[in-house]
Chains A and B, each alone.
Chain A
Amino acid sequence: MTAACHTGLYLPIECEILSVSELTPAEKLFQVRRTDGVPLGHLPGQFIQVSLLGWGEAPISVASSPTRNNFFELGVRRAGTLTGAMHQLKVGDVIGIRGPFGRPFDLSRMRGKDLLLISGGCGLAPMRSLIQYCEDRPSEFGRISILYGAKNPTYTLFKDDLAAWNASARFACSLTVDNSTGKDCYSGNVGLITSLIPPLTFDPSKTIAAIVGPPVMYRSVITELKTKGLTSDRIAVSLERQMRCGVGKCGHCTIEHLYCCQDGPVFWLNEVEHLRGAL
C-alpha cells in the first residue's frame, strides 16, 4: 500500500554550492547558501539533513558560525554513498537541505566561563562552529582552550584554522596526532588526545568542557576531565547517531528514551552518562 502525500516537514530547501575545498584526502569543505537568500538560522552544535536527489539524505553538522556571512559551511567526510556523491559536486551545483535540527551547545551556560573545546577527527567540524562563534564574540567568554586530535598529520582537518587559532592570543591550542610516519614533515605532539589534558591547569568551578569526536574518544576524555575535578554538569558532549529524519520520528537515533536528533545531539554529560549505549 502506497500513500501519496504532500508534506512540508520532509521537503528539502534548495541551496547552491559557493565553493569546494579539500580538507584532507577524505574530507571536503563546502560553502553553501540557500538560493532564496534566507540565512540558515542555526546555532553552533546543530546539524542539517543534506539531500541529494537519487541518493537520499544524510545528517551533516554545520561547521561555520551563524555570526559569519550569509552562507554556511559543511565539512563532509566521504563515508557512504551520499557523501561519496557529494564529493563529486562542484561550485554552482545545487543540493537540498532540511533543518537546522537539534539542540545546540548551551551558549547561555557557557557565557562568562572558561571553555575547554575538545574534538577528535571530524568532530572538529561542529566544534569549529562554536570556536568561530567564540572568536567573533570575545567579550562573552573567558579563556578558551582548543584541544584537537587527528589520526595522523594528513588527516588533520582545518589546518589553516588551527594555525590561525594557534597564533591567536585569544586561544590556547593543543594539537596531537595518533600516529606520525616521520615522512610527513610533522613535528608536533604524537599521542592520543587524552595526553593533552593532564598538563592543563584550570579552575573546574569556572570551566565548561565540550567534547565532539568519534565514539571511542568519549569515555577516556571524560575520565581525564573528571580527574581534573570537572563534574558531569559542566561537560557537554555531542553524540553521533544515524539521524534519518532529523525530526524525532524515524527512531534510528534513539538513546533509551532520548531522540538524539531532537533531544541532542548536544547533551550535558549528567543527562546521558547513566544511559545504556550513550557513550
Chain B
Amino acid sequence: MKILTPNKVDSFFQLLTQKWDVRLPIVLTDGTRVISSLGDGSIALHGGAVSSKPTAAFFPQHSSVFISVNGLIQEQTTPGLPIFVLGFTDRDLECLRFIDRFFANGLRDDIYFTLRSNAVVAGISGYCGVNGALLQPSSGNCDLEFFWDGCRWLIIPYSGAGNEIVADLPDSAPPEAIEAFKKASTALPDENEKILRQASELLRADRVPDSFWSEIGDRCISCTGCNLACPTCTCFGVQDWRSSKTIERSRMWDSCQLDGFMREASGHNPLGTEALRTRRRIHHKLAADPEKWGDISCFLCGRCDKACPTGIGILAVAKELVARFA
C-alpha cells in the first residue's frame, strides 16, 4: 500500500504523462466534472462518480473506423501512448468488466481493444464522495486503486502495471489508514440491488403488462440521456462524413430510445413506439443480458436516474415495477 499526499497529487500525475495518456477527474471551466486529460482543467478527485460514463475512455462517443483519401482507404495508426485512466468507482469497474467481455465476445472488436489493450485502469474509493461520503472500495478488479482516508490517498496496486506506476511512492501507510480501508471494504447490504433483482425476475417471468410500458413510455421525452450516461450502453451507429478529398467512416454512440434506432429500409420498425423502446431499454439490462451473459448489466451507478429529466431512470422504473407487480 502506497501513500500520495495531497500536495504531491499534481506532480505525481504530471510525471505519469511521460509514459501514459493520463485521464482523470477534472473540473472544466464551466464547472462540469468529467474524466479528461490532464491540462483540460484542474484535478478534481473528490466529489464521487463523474456524471459522464467512464467507459468512454475505451468506447468514445465518436471513433474513426477509417479514412479514405481519393478513394484509397488509409490504415490509421494507434494512439501514441497507452491510456491511464483514474476515476472508476467499484460499480464503474463492474461496468467495465461487463463491456470488456461484450466487446471480446465472438468477433473481437478491434476498435475498442486498440484503446483498451495495455491501458491501466485505476479505481477510486474512500471518503471522497459527495460531501465526503464513502465510495465503496473495489474488489480488486483494476490495476490500482486510489483510496482517500480523509487525509491522504492510499494507493493499492493490484497488477504489475499498477505496481510499476507507484513504485517510487512511499509505502508507509499508518495503521489507522489501513484500518480505515479495511473497514470501508466491508460490503454493506444494498437495498437497491435487491430491487433490481426483483425487477429482473418479474421481467423474465413476463409478469409486467404492456400497459406499464405505455405509461413509462408516455413519460419519455427521447432525450437519450439515459443511454449516453450509461457505462454499459454500447450501441453505436456507423456513418460516412464527406469532405472534398476525404471520406471518414466513423461510429458514434446511438440510442435505443430514438424512433429510427431499429427502423429498417423497408419501413418496418420493431421498436416503433415509445412504449416498446422504453421496454427495450429496461428489459435489455434486466432480462435480455441476464439471459445472454448470466449478469444483470446495470450495476447501479446511478447515472441514468440522475440524467433523466422525467424520472424514468432504471432504478426508478425498477422500484415502480416491483411496487406494482411483485
Q: Is B75 an interface residue (CB 8 A)?
A: yes
Of chain B, the residue at the smallest CB distance from A49 is: B238
B262 and A4 contact, CB distance less than 8 A: no
Selected from B102, B105, B114, B287, the residue in CB contact (under 8 A) with A5 is B114
Q: Which A residues are CB-close (under 8 A) to B276?
A: 277
Q: Which B residues are CB-close (under 8 A) to A55?
A: 240
B262 and A252 contact, CB distance less than 8 A: yes
Q: Which A residues are CB-close (under 8 A) to B251?
A: 10, 250
Q: Which of B2-10, B11-19, B155-163, B288-296 contacts A (4 or more CB under 8 A)?
A: B288-296
Q: Which B residues are CB-close (under 8 A) to A54?
A: 240, 242, 247
A7 and B65 contact, CB distance less than 8 A: yes
Q: Report the Cα distance A249→B77, complex, angstroms.
A: 22
Contact flags (1/0) for B247-284 with A, using CB distance below 8 Å? 10111001010000111111010110000100110011
Q: Which B residues are CB-close (under 8 A) to A183?
A: none
Q: Report the Cα distance A12→B60, complex, angstroms.
A: 22
Of chain B, the residue at the smallest CB distance from A82 is: B265
B291 and A257 contact, CB distance less than 8 A: yes
CB contacts between A and B, total, < 8 Å: 147
Within 196-253 of A, Cβ neighbours of B (below 8 Å) are at 214-215, 240-242, 244-245, 247-253
B254 and A241 contact, CB distance less than 8 A: no
Contact flags (1/0) for A107-121 with B, using CB distance below 8 Å? 000000000000000
Of chain B, the residue at the smallest CB distance from A8 is: B110
Contact flag A6-B234 (CB < 8 Å), given A79-B265, A240-B264, A252-B262: no
B270 and A56 contact, CB distance less than 8 A: no
Contact flag A5-B115 (CB < 8 Å), given A241-B264, A242-B263: yes
Q: Is B56 an interface residue (CB 8 A)?
A: yes
Q: Is B177 an interface residue (CB 8 A)?
A: no
Number of residues from B at the complex interface, CB < 8 A? 60
Of chain B, the residue at the smallest CB distance from A246 is: B107
Within 160-204 of A, Cβ neighbours of B (below 8 Å) are at none
Q: Is A38 an interface residue (CB 8 A)?
A: no
Selected from A53, A251, A256, the residue in CB contact (under 8 A) with B247 is A53
Q: Is A254 an interface residue (CB 8 A)?
A: yes
B63 and A241 contact, CB distance less than 8 A: no
B63 and A256 contact, CB distance less than 8 A: no
B270 and A9 contact, CB distance less than 8 A: no
Q: Is A16 an interface residue (CB 8 A)?
A: no
Q: Which A residues are CB-close (under 8 A) to B118?
A: none
A257 and B107 contact, CB distance less than 8 A: no
Q: Which B residues are CB-close (under 8 A) to A258?
A: 292
Selected from B61, B109, B240, B265, the residue in CB contact (under 8 A) with A1 is B61
Selected from B106, B115, B284, the residue in CB contact (under 8 A) with A262 is B106
Q: Is B62 an interface residue (CB 8 A)?
A: yes
B78 and A6 contact, CB distance less than 8 A: yes
Q: Which B residues are CB-close (under 8 A) to A91?
A: none
A7 and B262 contact, CB distance less than 8 A: no
Q: Which B residues are CB-close (under 8 A) to A255?
A: 270
Q: Which A residues are CB-close (under 8 A) to B98?
A: none
Q: Which A residues are CB-close (under 8 A) to B254?
A: 250-252
A248 and B107 contact, CB distance less than 8 A: yes
Contact flag A240-B64 (CB < 8 Å), given A53-B71, A250-B237, A256-B287: no
A248 and B266 contact, CB distance less than 8 A: no
Q: Is B133 an interface residue (CB 8 A)?
A: no
Q: Is A57 an interface residue (CB 8 A)?
A: yes
Q: Which A residues are CB-close (under 8 A) to B63?
A: 2-3, 5
